Homo-oligomer: A and B are copies of this chain.
Amino acid sequence: MAVDVAVLDRNVRSMAAAAGQRGLALRPHAKTHKTVEIARRQIEHGAAGLTVATVAEAEAFADGGIEDLFIAYPVWPSPARARRLRALADRVALRVGVDSAESAQALARSVGPLDVMVEVDSGQHRSGVRPSDAKALAADAERAGHRVSGIFTFPGHGYGPGLQHQAARDEATALLEADPQAPVRSGGSTPTAAFAEAGPLTEMRPGVYVFGDAQQVELGTCTWDDVALTVAATVVSRRGDRAIVDAGSKILGADRLAWATGFGRLPDHPDARIVALSEHHATIEFPGGAVPARGDRLRVAPNHVCATVNLTDELVVVEAGREIDRWRVAARGANT
């Protein structure tokens, strides 16, 4: 799994610049890369802190020296997790998501007072309260003893062709309805990042932008030139206008949204389509029939790079086509 460091750095800088120009704090979601070296680059370029999805990710980045972490998830404090949350809150600036009075109370009981952020549903309909219920939940959380730092939402319904602008509008509307005076109003995803507006938002949390992936290209959120991470695959078999390569779902990940054109893409063969994927085989159709030879190496951009990075222990860092380093994926598997 190779990361072109020049492309990565350009992505890190340009998102930081976009956030800065708009007066938004940038708190990138580190579940995408799970890698301390990349987190440090984001912080060096002005990120206010990092977003993570799990307690275990927060631990990995705290171990890596990142001092400001937001677990953007309605964490439930099972006994073991409560102890770990307490230890984290004692060593870094920590914010934790809540989406119910029960979870706020359970956190207060088993972890103690925390900085919490109220999760609001802006249209994805996963976790999060209705915007109209956000202030009541904030009051519940304060009564339980927490400090409420603000509100957050994830406009995940922007992951569809042509839906980015509307999802960003929904996000802004939901945050304004929830609490326009909340000190932190945090939103954002890579597809909606271009439409994120200071005012409704004070902070954005895109993740995928550091690497890009086939989904983002197919959504129009980035171009092939912006894709920093690819998987090297070798042609092992051929049949008609198809080649079989040795990168399957255990290397690329199996994510495929309904509108995707296949199970990943080939940046160097934009017309090719990955029409089938099993654990160790990807079947690639080459329209026109210019099928690569057995033994040829192809670069594959996965559909969803967050899933892909979680499958590898290290990233091969490449500059001008040459390996210059290896970075450990410190939070690989840190998913609870």
Contact = CB atoms under 8 A, between A and B. Distances in A.
Interface of A: 31, 53-54, 73-76, 78, 99-100, 102-103, 106, 125-128, 156, 234-239, 244, 246, 248-251, 253-256, 276, 278-281, 283, 294-295, 297, 306-307, 310-313, 333, 335-336
Nearest to A78: B234
9 contacts: A54-B280, A73-B280, A76-B294, A100-B294, A103-B294, A125-B239, A126-B244, A127-B237, A251-B335
A306 B250 CA distance: 9
Nearest to A130: B239
A237 B99 contact: yes
A8 to B, nearest CB: 21
Contacts of A312: 333
Q: How many copies of this protein are present in the complex? A: 2
Nearest to A31: B279
Nearest to A303: B254
A74 B283 CA distance: 14
A253 B254 contact: yes
Given A53-B279, A54-B280, A246-B336, 9 more contacts: A74-B244, A76-B295, A106-B294, A126-B283, A248-B335, A250-B306, A253-B254, A254-B307, A311-B311
Contact of A307 (B237, B239, B250, B256): B250
A295 B78 contact: yes
A248 B253 CA distance: 13
